[in-house]
Structure 1
Amino acid sequence: MDDLTLATEIVSRLQQKQFIAYLCGGCVRDQLLQRKPKDYDIVTSARPEEIKKIFHVAVEVGMKFGIVCVKFKGQIFEVATFRKDGDYIDGRRPENIEFSDEIQDAKRRDFTINGLFFDPVAEKVIDHIDGQKDLQRKIVRTIGDPYERFGEDHLRLMRAIRFATQLDFALCDTTWDAVDTMSKSIETVAKERVREEFVKMLMGQDPERAIVLLKESGMLNVLFPHLLKDGVVFDKTRQMLRKFRPFTDETFALCSFLFFSFKEDNQQVVQFCEKLRFANKTHNQVMAILENGERCFHLLDLNVASLKRFLRQSNIADVLNLHCADCDINELSKKNYEFAQQSLQKFGDKLFPAKVINGYDLKEMGVPPGPLYKKILYDVEDQQLLGNINSYEQAIHYVRDKWLQRERIEIEKFEEEKI
């Protein structure tokens, strides 16, 4: 069964127990726009205790907010009780909630397009906030006073831009005026939440428009004061995002956004990744790709071994795609890019030669354990990549003739039968 069928069954069970129950939020919006919902959330008049009685495998994940996770036929669904939010003190979440009715629940939500309900059993849309009209007009509008909505959760300032660019909608004038006026409030939002929202913008349908709106609202300068200050860098970044959208890989999306900022000052990228608290793995991958993008301009100067090492990196496709885009945007020669592509076809499996000797072999030859092992093995692999070593015997002779004499290592006689 697909998720919609399962969610419909949950709604049906609640209704059979005489409770009101609907699908809610983004899944309703996406269905009406004929987009595939990421997940299905359910809202009901049933209280958490009543939900748990109906669905025996259920866990309260937000008791304070009346949210229960229901495990139904192997899938997890959030089921929330209709509620009215109390005062927002910290610009993120209400201090308390009151269980309420469906109208109050709809009115507490952020945007009209996200405040719709859908009864999948009766196949009926329930609209208390004129959300359907805004969907038809392709408008992002807050429910009620925009200053009040954004004051409740400052992240909604970014979400307004994300929905507009993700859905190719316009921001209504009053909503945009509030975003523009309150843009500095985004600074109070936890960096992890900002990171998640920003990545969603990059992965959306129009990341170029997203950064333009962030810049126009002033949020870009508040979030990243040292990034994209230069107009030329900003324009080139727009072109880069336009070239590759929509993105399917988060790391590549980040690299595309940061590429020209890195060329201007790589410390800007370091600060960006640290400020938004990206995982070390993501941070390191981004830096490696951007650094190698600069090295692409010197591929024709590399010897065969260095070239092969460069081309066999796991992220080489991303590196070369960014380099090619860089050449297009700056109207530069693509001779290094073309050379790299030709070399990839030419070398094939020769980029990854099987190891012919290892540390145990060096130990048998009398090489004392230590940093020298790594140097010798690296050098041997270089000779393999150059085509000078193809066998165990050749590797042993090479190490004995070059390394053991040069380093003046005293070794015992190496038995010829081992060769």
Structure 2
Amino acid sequence: MPRRPLALVGLVALALPLTACVPNETAEVSAAGTAGAGGGTGTVTVSSTADACELSEDTAPSGTLRFTVVNDGSDVTEFYLLAEDGLRVVSEVENVGPGLSRDLVVQVAPGTYVAQCKPGMVGDGIRSDFTVTDSGTPVGPTGDVAEQLAAAEASYLAYVRDQSGALIAATQEFAAAYAAGDDATARSLYAPTRVHWERIEPVAESFGDLDPLLDLREADLEEGATWTGWHLVEKDLWQPAPEANGGVAYTPLTPEQRQVAADDLVANTQRLVDQVNAQDFTVAAFQVSNGAKELLDEVATGKVTGEEEIWSHTDLWDFAANVDGADVAYGVLADVVTERDPELATELTERFDTLQGLLAQHGSYDAGFAGYDTLTDAQVKELAAAVDALSEPLSRLTATVTGA
């Protein structure tokens, strides 16, 4: 049965019309870089190492394109397809471990793009230009599918705008309490406010520096860089003992530093709100489906491990919000998935329900969630297993939606 998208009731009418970006057929890219007969999905192999990001082709025809990212190095890596300005993220695949490969399916119009590998998942990465030529096939669906995907894109855009609006309002309240030194109120507002961020995090990541400015963990801070955002404030609200702070006593932020941190948090959140509400901002169906997988990857690499909220231990709030966001992204696309692969639709529905049910055992948004440090090893393993069980079918969502 198609899922009923969470928190979308009444929002569709708020969305601006979007141009669908899903082709019916594309040309296959052969090893020699020429278009194969009969259509299909163009494929480019990416080899990422510590000092290289080698693409099997630097040119491909427009339409549906699959990047097979192979980590031939010794560090975990990421791959991004960026717009021509090298800032806006068209799509990405993260946390590709050494010796592993991951596929990234995107839909691209003719133009110039930037391919980027980021070994170690830090720094500017290794970049090269990537050109998409005109395949002669319109980049967009036709008939009923076009209408379904356009409605899905509009619904998801409305959801993103709704969540960003809730985020800025809650952030302003949180920041005011924190700057005023009202730590008890700030602590109570921290996790509920971040829920709105965690539900739409892949959209924020598409704007380049916004994600690190707002959500960078101290462990990922590069030497010499200035730390800003939620986790800087988190550490100051839940001040660690010396043994949890590299063996040295934590130095609280001064009132002046608190004000700067609070102002930065509000200003950068407002940037996100402004950009998602811009008239030219759109979200294509493949970005919605890839975003669903990215959110679940966020759970697997940060929330399940307890590394996201290492001082507040509010990881379950983030965990639930990531799952919510993935569920909504799937929900707006469920009709198309049900038509094209009903077995996948059934499997996704069941596994989302299972994971949501497990989370409900540990709390709710209204009642609050248990501290992640209070979970037993068995409970953490149970949650991790449910995430893994959902991750595999969710990895097939984009290919199903695009017809790749």
Identify whether the pair has TM-score above 0.5, normalized to the shorter chain.
no
Which structure shows the higher helix fraction? 1
| TM-score (normalised: structure 1) | 0.22
Greater strand content: 2
After TM superposition, the score normalised by the length of structure 2 is 0.23
Q: Which structure has the greater CA radius of gyration? A: 1
